[in-house]
Amino acid sequence: MTQESETLREAGGEQHETTEKRGEAGERVCPECEASLVVDDSHGETVCESCGLVVEEDEIDHGPEWRAFDSNERAEKSRVGAPTTKLLHDDGLSSVIDWQDRDAKGRTLDGNKRRKLQRLRTWDERFRSKNAQERNLKQALGEIDRMASALGLPESVRETASVVYRRALEDDLLRGRSIEAMATASLYAAARQASIPRSLDEFEPVSRVERKEFSRAYRYIVRELELAIEPANPLEYLPRFASDLELDEDTVGRARSLLEEGMERGVHSGKSPVGLAAAALYAASILEGEKITQKEVCSVSDVSEVTVRNRYTELLEAGTDPDAARAL
């Protein structure tokens, strides 16, 4: 056998000896002693924590080439911007000129440079919205963010609302309709899709248009975009109302039972889900002996006392609970 073949055989034997091995749980282990492996990022090596065998070397470091010891230093050295988002009309890809009139060393600029920088900001703002469609989208997304903040809606709902509005804009559904109405309708549709209960009464004070206008826009968007939105469920409103009223879990459970029995008998058909949820909590509080008034229930649910009394009677009549019959 030639020396070259012996060398190849020895090389092949070494490669076979360092073949990757797996433990019982599927994790990588040392091919020599079957101990756990650790990754040494500073040297780019994977070594055995027991015998010190270097299993891999010259690994690629996917992190930055610089080091930072606090958050401020990390922010100064980082060259990466924020991730893209549908909450901005340009997906967050454009640049923004800082509003502080200071140079790179933190020194205040003189009057001439401040005026020049202000002109640059103006042109930068104009270039970020190149046409009427982008200006429309920018204004609408600002409205969506404002209303979502006032209603306490999460960022996922805002993202969905922005996508709904973009689809309406692309399909030319905004012709003859106000930006505020379509933005409100998009946010309401997104909240309904995410099963986060917010009633039209709650949207009315934060919207810049009347309820009739954004209700019409909502029905138009759902029909034209063929959005899959299920009817509002009164059960979805119970946790929020109960939390505002600080009710016990037993009362909430009783209210849930009353609603489920009423829905089985069709009491909810044609009725406001908000009014049903408020009435169920009021009825359950009476059955459980908690002291809350109709006025308190109406204040958190934004429905009238007449609605609570009517739905309260209907739920108790539809229920099979003997205590409910006595409460009537």
User: Annotation-wise, does 298 bind a ligand?
Assistant: no
Phi-psi group of 315: left, alpha or beta (phi > 0 → left; psi -120 to 50 → alpha; rest → beta)? alpha
C-alpha pair distances (Å), 140 with each of 82, 94, 180, 206 = 21, 18, 7, 14
Residue 40 β-bridge partners: 45
User: Annotation-wise, does 51 bind a ligand?
Assistant: yes
Strand ranges in the chain using DSSP code E only, listed in sequence order: 21-22, 28-29, 37-40, 45-48, 54-56
Tokens of 210: 């009347």
Q: How far apart are CA 60 and CA 270, in angstroms?
A: 63
Phi, psi of 22, deg, nearest 5: -120, 145
Pairing of strands 54-56, 21-22: unpaired
* DSSP annotation string for 223-270: HHHT---PPPPGGGGHHHHHHHHT--HHHHHHHHHHHHHHHHTTTTTT
CA 256 to chain centre: 27
Tokens of 79: 């060259």
Binding-site positions read: 30, 33, 48, 51
Binding-site positions for Zn(2+) read: 30, 33, 48, 51
